[in-house]
Structure formats: structure tokens, C-alpha cells
Homo-oligomer: A and B are copies of this chain.
Amino acid sequence: MTEQNGYHLKSNGDHQDEYLFDPNILQSLFKDYSLKDSKLHENNYDEKYLLRPLRISDYDHGYIDLLRQLTECGPMTYEDFKQRFNQMKQCFNTYYILVIEDINTDQQIVGTATLICEKKFIRQLAIRGRIEDVVVHNRCRGQQLGKLLIDLLTQLGRDKCNCYKISLECKDHLVSFYQQFGYNHEDKQNYLCQRFQNSSNNHQENKTVN
């Protein structure tokens, strides 16, 4: 186990339990991390929490149950999870899922957020970031874990992935939360969406689309 500025990162000795992305990227972020907000520092994460990329074994440590606090996840076998994990990993420099492990409760995952980096042709082969699927466990709220996740993912997107912009969608009551990190409504910009009933299950995708 190595330590950088109060945050722990586990070494990855077990090849059966890979990280979704290289944890060294996070270490260099922590090294540069300026704890502007003293409250974050006082919370003393270093003795309670471990911040790291998602691992396959997180299936057994409450990762999916945590996502269920955000939205429906349906049934999911370990094989389903592992297959999707590997599909994400094969998309080079695309999926950055950060998790917070509670080191005092059998490595339970108590927080997660995802940065997705989209490759573009425009703006000289730009990268465009999106923050998705942010959730902190009910019992760990009020400890600014969400703030830590968004602050770090924003830095990751800006400084390591070279995103020219990062965006996210959120409900009304979360707007002020995200504004503190620099996310704002854009003038004359609209977000439009449509939802489909026909599929909440993509087990078929490999059969229908190459």
C-alpha cells in the first residue's frame, strides 16, 4: 500500500483483480491536490477511506448495491459485471470510474462517480468529458465524499485527460452543489432527451451490433 498526501492507494498485485484504469493517474493528482477546503482535511479520510479506480472484485463489496441507491440496476451476475467491466476497459482512455472504499467495514464501496472521455475530430482531436453516476452511500452522507469525487474527477478530466469541456446532467436541487466546482448552465444551450421502453437490458448487444 502506498500513500500520497493522506489518500491511500492499493498496489495491484493480483492480476485477477484489475483496476479499470491506471491508479498512478490518481496518485499524481493527489500529489498536486491542494486541499483548499479545510473541512475536507478535517474529515481525515486517510484513516477511514481509500480512493481508487473500480476493480472487478468490487462486485462483492457492494458496488452494485450502492448504484441501486441512485437508480434501478436489475439483477446482475458476477459474469455480467465482469464482461461489462472488461468492455469498458477495452475502450482505451474512456471510462474512469472512481470508488471510495470504507476500509473499516470489509472494504465496502461507499461512494462512486464516473468520468467518461469522448474522442472527437473537432477542435484538433479534442476530448470531451462527461460526469455520470455519482452516488454516496446513505450512511456516509454529510462527510463531503461527493465533493471529493467531483473535485478529483474534474481535475482528472482537465489535467490528465485534457478535456476541453466537461458536462453533466443533474436535478434542480443539485445545481448549487455542482456550481461550486465550476459547472454552470450555458447560455442558449438546451439538453433534450428521449427514453425508450423497449430495452433496459443489453445482453443482446454483441449479437445485434458489431
State the A residues within 8 Å of B (CB). 21-22, 24-25, 63-64, 67, 70-76, 80-81, 84, 87-88, 90-95, 116, 118-127, 130, 132-133, 154, 158-172, 174-175, 178-179, 181-186, 188-196, 198-206, 208-210
Is there an interface contact between A126 and B191, defined as CB atoms closer than 8 Å? no
Is there an interface contact between B158 and A196, defined as CB atoms closer than 8 Å? yes
Is there an interface contact between B186 and A193, defined as CB atoms closer than 8 Å? yes
Is there an interface contact between A121 and B76, defined as CB atoms closer than 8 Å? yes
Is there an interface contact between A164 and B200, defined as CB atoms closer than 8 Å? yes
Instruction: Please measure, in the bound complex, the distance between the C-alpha atom of A185 and the C-alpha atom of B160, giving whole angstroms.
Output: 33
Query: What is the copy number of this chain in the assembly?
Result: 2
* A168 and chain B: residue at smallest CB distance: B192
**Which of A63, A169, A184, A193 counts the most B-chain CB atoms under 10 A from its CB?**
A193
| A90-B91, A184-B194, A185-B190 given; 19 more Cβ-contact pairs under 8 Å | A71-B123, A74-B124, A84-B125, A93-B206, A95-B119, A116-B118, A121-B133, A123-B200, A124-B201, A158-B196, A158-B198, A160-B209, A161-B205, A163-B199, A164-B195, A170-B192, A175-B192, A183-B192, A185-B192
- Majority SS of interface residues in chain A? mixed
Is there an interface contact between B183 and A194, defined as CB atoms closer than 8 Å? yes
